[in-house]
Structure 1
């Protein structure tokens, strides 16, 4: 079923992989230095949002004003850069809940 949502061309799989990888790295680092894991989840969402936004050149879309990657770099037919917005909102919500 996942193969249906993730198209085989482009970088759409990073939408799922980036938060997982960044979360594991942050959890291991905070555990290694003895810092509490309280801020790992919000930091994971914020870093993932920035990574996905700049990895798919979302900032250039705002400057140029047109989508040059139409049909590529999508997850569930949504451009990869637009997944950064829900990640940033989830980071803000999880930070407010702490």
Structure 2
């Protein structure tokens, strides 16, 4: 059964390297990643799409929401924290 987990990416705390590690882990586990910002939603198929979207939509006033859909949500939450992404997170859903 597929599950969903989401987290906000805050511009002030955003770091590229942890996001790259996290996305690669999602790819490896076959998860679907969506990103939402400035009233736009995009399904991410490749790492450059994710980074481009975040660079274009993150600002002091606007956070982005990353949504992951798949069978390995608990593992992905742990992977994000291990990758150093805890500083980027405002909240989990």
Task: Please give the TM-score of this superposition, normalised by the length of structure 2.
Answer: 0.30
Task: Please give the TM-score of this superposition, normalised by the length of structure 1.
Answer: 0.30
Tell me which protein shows more strand as a share of its residues.
2
Larger Rg: 1
Using CA pairs below 8 Å that are at least 6 residues apart, which structure has the higher relative contact order? Answer: 2
